Structure 1
Amino acid sequence: MKPSLRFFLAGFLLLILQTGLCYGIKWIALSKTSLALALNQTQHCKQLEGLVVSQVQLCRSNLELMQTIIQAAREVIKTCRKTFSDMRWNCSSIELAPNYLLDLDRGTRESAFVYALSAAAISHTIARACTTGDLPGCSCGPIPDAPMKMKKSGSQANKLMHLHNSEVGRQVLKASLEMKCKCHGVSGSCSIKTCWKGLQELRDIALDLKTKYLSATKVVHRPMGTRKYLVPKDIDIRPVKETELIYLQSSPDFCMKNEKVGSHGTQDRSAWRERENPRSQYSRQCNKTSNGSDSCDLMCCGRGYNPYMDKVVERCHCKYHWCCYVTCKKCERTVERYVCK
């Protein structure tokens, strides 16, 4: 990896982890960058939302990497929303970047997941860009670490929490490497086999992190000797495990809307907001036949649910034509769906 790119990665990974004003995940606002922005001139960096001054300076010095970083931000939002689509907290507030609600602006279990996913996503996207040749000059050279700078007092615990969870995300990414092989030989024989380690899809990594989210450990910032450390709140006889997500602040149950605590709620508010679109993100669907977290009982917090009929248009009666294309017709059917009261 050429020196400028290597030091940019180190600097950018450092700066996106600044926690004083929730800088650590403000960069996800890059997902809003217009596709029409070419990002081939240094003045374009000022048009990028969510970057602090130091990050804008790094952008100017390394324009070739910014499209990859922007793609990583889009992947974080898409993957987070999909991973939690069956939960009361469905990661919808991540789209408010860089102005988050308290679910992501405090040291919650939810922010723990987003920090871990963000760290994994940026490394995943850069690695993919390197292997496909979109980032020339990549190599396996190590990225130097740097200390995290603080922006205000009293945030040491948040700093340690976000550093820890970001490292968990990168470790899950590293552990997800799987061996892939390709055979070479006459008539499909495998006389020669080429093998390499490849990345899993980001959605699979997110599912691993979701499991860690569900079993995350609440911690406190407690003196141990001459320094303070994060230790499990209820079982502080052991140190925090390097493989577990940790959080400092308890979360609400996300049943009712309360923006003061960062909860959108799961109730159907289409009656006064979006009557014509019951499928909006504000009207949470539930699964009537499920026993999991997306069940109408759990998703609706015992309030019950309302059914509605939805028209679905899908491809049907597909035919393969020699050679080589497929034609399909469009069929419409009506399905019953359910939204929380």
Structure 2
Amino acid sequence: MGHPTAAVLLCQLGLSAAIQWLPDQFQMCRRNLEVMHSIVRAARQTKDVCQKTFADMRWNCSSIRRAPSFGPDLRKGTRESAFVFALAAAAVTHAIAQACASGELPLCSCASIPSEVPGPGFRWGGCGDNLHYGLQLGSAFADSPLKSSKLGTQALRAMNLHNNAAGRQEGMGRQGGTVLSDSLDTKCKCHGVSGSCSVKTCWKGLPDLGEIASDLKSRYLAAIKVTHRLVGPRKQLVPKETDVRPVTETDLVYLINSPDYCTPNPQLGSVGTQDRPCNKTSVGSDGCNLLCCGRGYNAYTEEVVERCHCKYHWCCYVVCKKCRRKVERYVCK
């Protein structure tokens, strides 16, 4: 791992779903220094994937850039906070599970061979993602700070813990299953003469984090507003509106409404949509009407250089010319 200072820096860079670091999380970090590279990878993936997933919406995940020093919109129990916590929790589990399979971590290795009988034409082999270890360590790292009374209200902690678990549930399987062996994709490699694929070696692997984020975005759009109140002997998260179905373990939940993100408002964590590029012909969230919040848009012309008139030469390269063309762009007023 190198110098202890480097290890501490990795601890500080690591992104859990926590808003701030607490002593017990630092201790856990120091006890598991070899995992910190995976945590840092998960932090970077969370930021990149979140911004890519919401690039066409008013809230484009820009507030995650300062993580773990989140802005107000990610500290107050909003729908956006629900998504970020869920994605971060999934990313940590994802990164650790894949690090086990790639041999990066000394305390874990490939997942166990699946118990199900292989189908015709393939056999179990390879090195599957160790989801069991990823869930075990990932949940401990992401959830431990949220169990402290020093971090936010009881309702906010309950919300974040629920969304952490929902993110890991999504990472376990897009069908929401709870049996680990059923939650992973079957991935295969072909063997045989001249690539005939007469025999396939298969293993269980996690879906791409971008796929998980896309599914979580659907849950974000359908998130349930909740309140934290006594149900029987203990407090639970229940829907704010009485006509809404009960909360399930795969739902994302939030406590307060979000700003509309149309105009800058530092107190609410909104940076506004002014100067954001928009799509003039789209009727979706990236369309100029919705993204610009009815303010209108400005048009400008840009010259782009592209490869064109490409020809294949035997053997074996392609030669292209460079063509210039003008394209019209649109940005929100």
User: TM-score higher than 0.5 here?
Assistant: yes
1:82 Cα offset (Å):
0.6
Query: Which of 101, 106, 111 does residue 81 from structure 2 map onto?
Result: 111
In structure 2, relative to structure 1, the CA distance for the partners of 1:44 and 1:183 (3 Å cut) is closer
Shift of 1:320: 4.5
What is the deviation of 1:209?
A: 0.4
Q: How does 1:154-303 map to 2 (within 5 A)?
A: 155-176=153-174, 177-235=184-242, 239-267=246-274, 283-303=275-295
* More moved, 121-130 vs 181-190: 181-190
Distance 2:103 2:261 in 1: 43
Q: Aligned-pair distance for 1:98? A: 2.6
CA positional deviation for 1:299: 0.5
1:88 to 42, 58, 63: 58
For 2:212, the aligned partner's letter is: I
- Is this contact kept in 2: 1:42–1:59, CA < 8 A? no
TM-score by length of 1: 0.76
| Alpha-carbon offset, residue 195 of structure 1 | 2.4
Runs of 5+ consecutive residues of structure 2 not aligned to the other structure: 15-20, 112-131, 175-183
The residue that corresponds to 2:7 in the other structure is 45
Q: How many residue pairs get matched? A: 288
Q: Classify 1:315/1:122 alpha carbon distance in 2 versus 1 (closer, same or farther; 3 Å).
A: farther
Cα drift, residue 311 of structure 1? 3.0
Cα distance in 1 for partners of 2:304, 2:160 equals 42
Structure 1 residues 55 and 333 mapped into 2: Cα distance closer, same or farther (>3 Å)?
farther
Quick one: percent identity of the two aligned structures?
59
Task: State the partner residue of 2:120.
Answer: none
- After superposition, residues 317-332 of structure 1 pair within 5 angstroms as 317-332=309-324
1:308 and 2:315 are equivalent in the alignment: no
Q: Answer yes or no: is the 8 Å Cα contact 1:320–1:326 preserved in 2.
A: yes
TM-score, normalised with respect to structure 2: 0.78
Structure 1 unmatched ranges of 5 or more = 1-38, 268-282
What secondary structure, in the 3-state scheme, does the structure 2 residue paired with 1:68 have? helix
8 Å contact kept, 2:47–2:65:
yes
* Residue identity matched to 2:185: E
Distance verdict in 2 for CA 1:320–1:60, change over 3 Å: farther
**Aligned-residue CA RMSD in angstroms?**
2.5
State the SS of the aligned residue for 1:253: coil
1:92-171 to structure 2, matched below 5 A, reads: 92-139=62-109, 140=111, 142=133, 143=136, 148-152=146-150, 155-171=153-169
Which whole-Å CA distance do the structure 2 matches of 1:129 and 1:323 have between them?
40
Matched residue of 1:218: which SS?
strand
**Contact 1:79 1:203 survives alignment (8 Å):** yes
Deviation digits for residues 311-332 of structure 1 (CA, Å, limit 9, x no counterpart): 3334444454555555545444
Q: Distance in 2 between matches of 1:93 and 1:65?
A: 26
Aligned residue for 2:117? Answer: none
Distance 1:308 1:188, change over 3 A: same
